[in-house]
Chain A
Amino acid sequence: MGLPTIRVGVDIGGTFTDVALEGPGGLVTGKVLTDYAEPERAILTAIETAAREAGIAPGDIGQVIHGTTLVTNALIERRGARMAFITTEGFRDVIEMRSENRFEQYDLNLQLPVPLVPRKDRFTLNERMGPKGEVLLPLDPSEVRAMAERVVAGGYEAVAVGLMHAYANDAHERMMADALAELAPGLSVSISSVISPQLRELPRFNTVIANAYVQPQVSAYLGRLVTRLRAAGIDAPVFLLHSGGGLISVDTAAEQPVRLLESGPAGGAIFAAGYARAHGIDRVLSFDMGGTTAKICLVEHATPKTANSFEIARTYRFKKGSGMTVSTPVVEMVEIGAGGGSIASVDMMGRIQVGPRSAGSEPGPACYQRGGTEPTVTDANLVLGRLDPDGFAGGAIPLSAKLAETAMGAVAAQQGLSEQDTGFGVTEMVDENMANAARVHAVENGRDIEAFTMVAFGGGAPLHACRLCEKLAIDALLIPPGAGVGSAIGFLRAPFSYEATRGLFQPLDGFDADLVNTTLAAMEAEARAFVDTGAAGEETVTKLTAFMRYRGQGWEIPVPLTQDRFAPGDEPALIAAFEEAYRALFGRIIEGLMPEITNWSLIVASRPPEPAPVKRVTDGTPARATRPRRFFDAALRRDVEAQEIARAEMTPGSVVEGPAIITEDETSTIVTSRFRAIGQPDGCLLLIRKEASA
């Protein structure tokens, strides 16, 4: 079974709903404003518009792929179900006590995030499992019945059940779920042994609670969406992009909405991965910059890096620890409070600081002339000549250079500098913040950032990407076409996949191959069942990862394994795989210590559509310039005479020597003096460092 010929991807973001429709006639993309009251209405408008432009009937669409920030927003804005949480006696406050630390050391008035379920709605059962799933305290069925009655009488819209060590034995959680199902068949019930069967109570409880919290809402929304699509004559199956970067059926998504948390950004990473594959680039740094935040992801061998837990809904300047850690498979991204709307200020040491406060889209940067007065990154870019006041958003938003300078004036006065030097300080500081985050992320993964190629997309990225490459000593930068709707296009490139996870503790000096094989078989069956809903009969790949550490360490590292079943005597191979991964991350191993495995992850995935390989062009004829421009080149610390070229002129083999500005409606690409840009056969711009390409 191959892919349907016409497929459409729809991404609901905070401001826009993006669509990408691909068929025999090529790719059609579009944007409409997000409809907060009825998100599905904007989706239909977007799909119908795209279908018209492509000259097809909606009924010709063979597959709808959807991603949304709905789940994330419901959690951030606390618009979820009124719910109960049932846990083990003695552990009622796990989600409130969190990790018992403060994420900001010097703030005496620190406020910790409030738990999603208040204490009065958290109930406990007298039961206890041990770490190997042994029953230490049996659960009395009459207590289970009484609890079910109590919760149902409480009128809750959803219930989460999270018991200690339930990843190792789900019997008690199942008893509770069954009792609730019997008493109130329509009630939304999520249990931790299904939603996130992994070791560590805090993230597991957070995850099952987050799932229950959004489940009624997401399920209702997806139901409405399918109904609306059918009514519009679109009978195609609907799939959702999950946070791990693969597709799942609409039914799975309605049951496990917590898997959708990062679906939009994951689409962006797959978008970048598609270009990595087409261009044959092994190591890609995906860089997505919008109005408020920038996101960075490592993509190796055309696969975005994933993790099995992450932090959502950070409450304090994007600071690590200020959100809620959930354990669900996710494309690992670093998010920085740095975008076009980020506001510049001067701190008490007299230093220019940028973000994380943002002017957003309302009122927006001062130069938008919508009442904003604080200086933003966009204002700085305008002052430095990097933006054309009459060409922004294709001329739709006229920018006021005067207002930008006035806004920059306050910071300039405190600095004793000109507006232009201040603008340089602002953009340089924001570029520095992004570069530092990228460098640290690479270090944390044991990688050298210099070896990567950057793929930049999102409205703000092409303005900053070249300078970022200078700071990171990256030699090559790819700016794909359609970068404004990257996530929606990414949806079309995603495989069907499902990642099953399990907590199963295995010391390698007491490895139980039979037990492991039984568990892996169950995980594979689970994953395959989900993948079959979208890709039955297709060729699949299976990927097993063990999370391992030396005994005595507190955190595991992911260790990719080549085999997915084990026999006694396989321990040395497991140790060797661990040592290889450990060495790659930390540069050395420790002799004489025994490794152990805590959690397992098994992915079953279909093969994603193979993009046509692109033959990279590095030379050609000069492109035709529109007019001369002047902009401030950060590395040279001065204005440079540059040429402006329309992106449409950058046909394959067209070459522009920096300094140059390549303009299109959605954004402008700055080519600094140290880089040259070459048009590629697939419409990408390739920017190469001059000395590197010489």
Chain B
Amino acid sequence: MTPDTIDFQIMWNRLIAVVEEQATTLIRTAFSTSVREAGDLSAGLFDRQGRMMAQAVTGTPGHVNAMAESVGHFVREIGPQSIFEGDVYLTNDPWMGTGHLHDITVVTPVFRKGVQVGFFASTAHVVDIGGRGFGPDGREVYEEGLLIPISKFVERGTVNDMLIRIVRANVRTPDQTVGDLYSLAACNAAGDRRLHAMLDEFGIDDLDGLSDFIMTASRAATEAAIAAVPRGTYRNTMTVDGFEVPVEMVVTLEALGDRIRADFTGTSGMSTYGVNVPEVYTRAYACYALKCAIAPEVPNNAGSLAPFEITAPEGSILAARRPAPVSVRHVLGHLVPDVVLGALHAALPGTVPAEGASALWNIQISARASDPDSGLPGAEILMFNSGGTGARPALDGLSATAFPSGVSTMSVEATEHVGPIIVWRKDLRPGSGGAGATRGGFGQVIEIGARDGYDLWFNAMFDRVDHPARGRDGGKPGASGRVELSDGTKLRSKGRQQIAGGHRLRLSLPGGGGYGDPLARDSRAIAADLEAGLIDAETAAKVYGWQGPRD
């Protein structure tokens, strides 16, 4: 039986289920909070040539291209002659994987009747990788933890004990980190079993025909979508807070009919802190932004990603050179879509949103006994929090919602069981959404204090404090972020700081930018915001020109 177009369609559909199953297996067994809550993982199937055929849709766009490119590195480093049945490979090289040491990528070759026909790959953010821990303080990647070059984790079914021992000896959580390595291998194995069942069912022994079918259809669909973007060159710049000095992001988009080129020449140079972004991660977020706006329905694979050509000059903060520190590359990475969408706006007016808070406001808190002799145990607490997204052409922005990241927040009640803190407030931040015909999403206000007998330290890495999200087409900027004590004492938005017992940290997260002239806003929408207490009467009158309910 030769597969025909219906068979290929069904197999394609099945492959997407196979990689989702692979991802589900990983989410349910992984230890790290960011895998579970933020979907900080990826899973995919590749053909013999290393072309990605299917990728699970998970919470992080940061792995989109990163995963697609990774298998090629493995094939090159391992060498085709050394790929055996029963092998499993891994690396956490930021420049070959997904941009920082905490992400471990595991690749498993697929064999069918003794012939290698493809690969499964998966990536997860592990709890700890040694070094200084997760934070911007390292000055070189060497300080940020253990770097495992592309290696054989398993060879012909035998686990590489030396590798495991090295990992165990270098991380703070050996059981959990090594446990996650096995989780990654196991999820690839789950995919492998399911793939073989499909090949049995359809009576085929390789992926070549199917892969060509997927690549051709995906590429054609993407090219057709890109054809709707008027040819031309579009440029945009955006300044954000950065770490020690403001960072200017510059992008030039070229719409070429069947493909789009994005280049970040002109962007600021590297930081001396771990906020630098390896190019692979910049490519992922730039590509994500373009796909959202142009071809959201085409699944991610080598065919659909190829027409997006993204480059950044080596040595810029968006294409950090070894051995730059890159641990918290997500902060600037999350801002990349805003600058790209801003450039695309000129080509496709009425399509993309205004700028948003975009960079997550993750809070990492260390609680320590005020009196070291009290015997009270310390605790580490991690919270994910989001500001407002930019207003859309026909819709308000989303309040307190992650974009471009796909993070979920954690329950406050559950968080208070993890460590000796009390979250006194986690509520919308009235007035923070940028005014416009459609309004930016509201940010949120969070107040945190220590339980009696404890002091808190937190690692600030917050953007859009000095440079708020800009509005579009006459829309006003969103409110900028604020970092302070609840008595109003200002704190720094970057770096490690102490909250002494009795004080509370107050974070006011940024709002999204507005879209269009605020005077054009529907009066019912203004009335609804007023009634909800999310804007005040003065703003309604002065900014929106509201004159009381009509009709």
Contacts and interface: CB of A to CB of B under 8 A. Distances in A.
Interface of A: 89-94, 96-97, 99-102, 105-112, 118-120, 128, 130-131, 136, 164-165, 199-202, 347-352, 415-417, 421, 424-425, 428-429, 432-433, 436, 439-440, 443-444, 471, 473, 503, 505, 550, 552-555, 585-588, 590-593, 598, 637
Nearest to A94: B426
A553 B9 contact: no
A108 B408 contact: no
A108 B296 contact: yes
B162 interface: no
B145 interface: no
B424 A128 contact: yes
B217 A351 contact: yes
Contact of B402 (A92, A102, A443): A102
26 contacts: A90-B447, A93-B400, A93-B428, A94-B426, A97-B401, A97-B409, A106-B297, A109-B394, A119-B532, A131-B416, A348-B225, A349-B218, A349-B298, A349-B299, A350-B221, A351-B12, A416-B5, A429-B10, A432-B14, A471-B201, A552-B127, A552-B176, A554-B33, A590-B31, A590-B179, A637-B1
A593 B175 CA distance: 8
B334 interface: no
B36 to A, nearest CB: 5
B59 to A, nearest CB: 7
Contacts of B14: 432, 436
Interface string B1-32: 10001100110111001001100110011010
Contact of B428 (A96, A101, A136, A202): A96
A105 B300 CA distance: 12
Contacts of A89: 425
A349 B217 contact: yes
Contact of A109 (B33, B176, B395): B395
A142 B217 CA distance: 68
B384 interface: yes
B399 A97 contact: yes
A550 B36 CA distance: 14
B245 interface: no
A109 B392 contact: yes
Contacts, number: 196
Interface centre among A90, A107, A200 (most CB of B within 10 A): A90
Interface in B381-425: 384-386, 392, 394-395, 398-403, 406-414, 416-417, 422-425
B352 interface: yes
B214 to A, nearest CB: 8
B36 A428 contact: no
Interface of B: 1, 5-6, 9-10, 12-14, 17, 20-21, 24-25, 28-29, 31, 33, 36-37, 57, 59, 61, 127, 175-176, 179, 182, 186, 190, 194, 197, 201, 217-218, 220-221, 224-225, 291-293, 295-299, 351-353, 384-386, 392, 394-395, 398-403, 406-414, 416-417, 422-428, 444, 447, 451, 531-534
A199 B297 contact: no
B21 A587 contact: no
A108 B422 contact: no
B401 A112 contact: yes
A100 B9 contact: no
B279 to A, nearest CB: 22
A351 B9 contact: yes
Given A111-B395, A119-B533, A351-B12, A105 B176 contact: no
Of the candidates B182, B197, B291, B427, the one having the most CB atoms from chain A within 10 angstroms of its own CB is B427
A439 B17 contact: yes
Contact of A415 (B5, B13, B175, B400): B5
Contacts of A164: 412-413
A436 B22 CA distance: 13
B217 to A, nearest CB: 4
A201 B385 contact: no
A424 B4 CA distance: 12
Contact of B36 (A92, A348, A555): A555
Contacts of A92: 427-428
Given A119-B533, A590-B179, A350 B217 contact: yes
Contacts of B182: 588
B444 A97 contact: yes
Nearest to A198: B413
A131 B413 contact: yes
Contacts of A201: 411-413
B268 to A, nearest CB: 27
A505 B217 contact: no
A554 B417 contact: no
A106 B417 contact: no
B401 A108 contact: no
Contacts of B406: 101-102, 105
B13 A440 contact: no
B425 to A, nearest CB: 4
A200 B414 contact: yes
B428 A108 contact: no
A557 B401 CA distance: 28
A130 B422 contact: yes
A587 B399 CA distance: 40
Contacts of A130: 416, 422, 451
Contacts of B414: 199-200, 554, 598
A120 B532 CA distance: 5
A112 to B, nearest CB: 6
Contacts of A109: 392, 394-395
Contact of B352 (A100, A108, A112): A108
Contacts of B385: 100
Given A100-B401, A108-B392, A200-B411, A429 B9 contact: yes
A96 B426 contact: no
Contacts of B401: 97, 100-102, 112
A201 B423 CA distance: 13
B409 A99 contact: yes
B104 to A, nearest CB: 17
A183 B17 CA distance: 56
A97 B400 contact: yes
Contacts of B423: 90
Given A417-B5, A587-B186, A590-B176, A348 B221 contact: yes
A585 B186 CA distance: 13
A589 to B, nearest CB: 10
A200 B353 CA distance: 33
